[in-house]
Structure 1
Amino acid sequence: MAILITGSTGYIGSKLTAKLALQGHQVHLLCRTSPTLPHFQKPNIKVFIGDITDAESIRPALENVDRVYHLAAYARLWAKDASVFHRFNVKGTENVLNEAKRSGVSKVVYTSTAGVIGPSNDKPMTETDPRITGFFNLYEETKSQAEAVAMDYAKQGLNICILNPSRIYGPGLDTGSNPVTKIVELYMKEKWKLIPGSGNDIGSYPYIDDVVDGHISAMEKGRSGERYILGGVNVTFNELMSAIKKYSGIEKKLRHIPFPVLNAVSHLMLWNAKITGKYPMITPDWVAKYKYDWALNSSKAVNELGYTIRPFEEGIKETVEWVKQNRL
């Protein structure tokens, strides 16, 4: 029996595809266009042209499939047509799960985001802690709605668990879902010159290989109807930049930009995006998020899935070396 992956051309999906194929699994990929990635050109990888927003196009990819990883989503902060968030993240997820249930698959792993769980206050957030703010953007909101869809299917008997990865970094495709790696690259090219606000805001930074392994473990061990945070080490933005400086060997002064300034710039970029359609570098939603801490507690995934968290400096060092070899 084969494994179906949606979102295989994304940051996590491409790494997951490569690893499962290397392990000898038959892998089906649902793609809107034929992927050109060289590691997809293997005899045990079969590409099906389809779209998660078109339920009928999903069916051929599910033939002889026993397990499904659903990663496909619209994972950006802005779209000229705001309805794209609901169409891909909510309706697309409903289509995938409905077709998976109809075809009788044994297990689904759905990749959500830690953005759904929200910012932290006096302690790292767990899967069951109530959110302390509203949603900052349509991506978070629609992914939360998609989680509700997944939970409904779990109640109907579909074996499905949910994963909530946070600010992933490490080697891999530049898809927009790995901004930390992009910051490493821009800093080493001397194009990253700022720190938002004080830089003391906390984020949770998991290494990409740990997240991929967490997906594979979740397929084997994840309990139906449960969520699992795939976070990393909780560090400040200042600590992130210090590690990048240390392992790149590049010492460059960075300017702390006050949030009111960033907010004003982001509104100008958003205004320009609405007129030209050019994707904004930052948005008011992005600025608002960095005013909070986003510390996470991944102990549930560690205890139940055997999830591992790479030491932060080790991961940054490996990322810097990869950027040197592949991006500079």
Structure 2
Amino acid sequence: MAQVLTERGYCVRALVRQPQRADHLKAWDVELVQGDLRTSDLVTLMRGCQVLFHAAAHYSLWRRDRSLLYAVNVAGTRRILAAAREAGIERTVYTSSVAAIGVDPRGQPTTEAYQSPPEKLISEYKRSKYWAEQVAHEAISQGQDIVIVNPSTPIGAWDAKPTPTGEIILRFLRRQMPFYVNTGLNLIHVRDVAIGHLLALEKGKTGERYILGHQNLTLADILGRLAAMTGLPRPLGEIPIVIPLGVAWLDEVVLGALGKPPAIPLDGVRMAQQKMFYDARKAVAELGLPQTPIDQALRDAVTWYRERGYCP
């Protein structure tokens, strides 16, 4: 995001929890200020800015993190939007997620027009993003200029943590994925997501939400593409979802109760029972969202991980 904004001539001030871990942003002449969504002086830190990109959130599929998810994603969104209003921010782009929308039960790619009831959303993370989006709509109803974007599954370079999707790529590269489940994702190049945020700022309609996505692929298709571009063998085949469900239940419910941090979140496996396919035509038509080929996004991710020693 910072790279795209500075390339387009914007001066960027970034709120970061640990500036020493964000030194790479200085390469794009980004001003770093220390804090998070619970910082008391958010208004002061925002003074002098014209627009806000609220992309901060806590991501976890562990049920034990429920309180933190709501404290950061819901209460934190309420605090930063109120601070933006007080600081005189002219327009805000709020980064929600397709997680907040849910999956259309009719089996077709989901659009912005659909909304799953919150109780039907799988995981406290998804429900926290739903309620955070409601906070944004409350602010909009009170006259605040906010555009909502709902990224699907970004992939590409700079996924340092990594994200769950980056973890899939890494596990494939490390030969740690002998089998896979029958699920699916909507993928988009991470740079297209960043550009989509800027396009939402410049062209988005107040109160509207835009899915920032591109191509729907099954997990088998994704792994096949990775195999073709790396020369590594594909996983052996598909396994029934009941097997990882059992492992995740044992890991999180039984071993977790004994104090062992779970490696496989149960809600993550439950989510995999749905093909999370989305339709981004609204963002393409109204914003001009770019659609970089997904093979390029996968290749960029593989190259970035290999060059930085994440895998052999």
TM-score by length of 2: 0.91
Q: Of 126, 131, 149, which residue of structure 2 is paired with 1:140?
A: 126
Q: Of 149, 165, 170, which residue of structure 2 is paired with 1:185?
A: 170
Cα pair distance change 1:57/1:125, threshold 3 Å = same
Between the aligned residues of both structures, percent identity stands at 27
2:41 partner SS: helix
Alignment match, 2:116: 131
1:229 partner SS: strand
Q: Of 74, 83, 101, which residue of structure 1 is paired with 2:67?
A: 83
Distance across 2 between alignment mates of 1:76 and 1:181: 15
Distance across 1 between alignment mates of 2:306 and 2:29: 32
Cα pair distance change 1:42/1:253, threshold 3 Å = closer
* Counterpart AA for 1:144: Y
Q: Which of 310-319 and 99-108 deviates more?
A: 310-319
Distance across 1 between alignment mates of 2:283 and 2:242: 37
Shift of 1:43: 8.4
Cα pair distance change 1:202/1:186, threshold 3 Å = closer
Correspondence list, 1:309-320, <5 A? 309-320=291-302
How many positions carry a matched residue from both structures? 307
Q: Of 208, 229, 234, which residue of structure 2 is paired with 1:247?
A: 229
1:109 partner SS: strand
Conservation of the 8 A alpha-carbon contact between 1:234 and 1:295: yes
Gap runs ≥5 in structure 1: 1-15
Alignment of 1:67 onto 2:51: yes
Shift of 1:246: 0.5
Question: Alpha carbon RMSD of aligned pairs, Å?
Answer: 2.0
Cα pair distance change 1:187/1:74, threshold 3 Å = same
Alignment match, 1:164: 150
Q: Which of 153-162 and 122-131 deviates more?
A: 122-131
Cα pair distance change 1:253/1:71, threshold 3 Å = closer
Conservation of the 8 A alpha-carbon contact between 1:51 and 1:57: no
Conservation of the 8 A alpha-carbon contact between 1:24 and 1:44: no
Alignment match, 1:301: 283
Q: Which of 112-121 and 74-83 deviates more?
A: 74-83
* Counterpart AA for 1:89: N
Q: Which of 39-48 and 163-172 deviates more?
A: 39-48
Shift of 1:42: 5.2
TM-score by length of 1: 0.87
Q: Of 132, 136, 159, which residue of structure 2 is paired with 1:173?
A: 159
Conservation of the 8 A alpha-carbon contact between 1:218 and 1:305: yes
Conservation of the 8 A alpha-carbon contact between 2:214 and 2:280: yes
1:273 partner SS: helix
Alignment of 1:149 onto 2:138: no
Shift of 1:311: 2.0
Shift of 1:48: 1.9
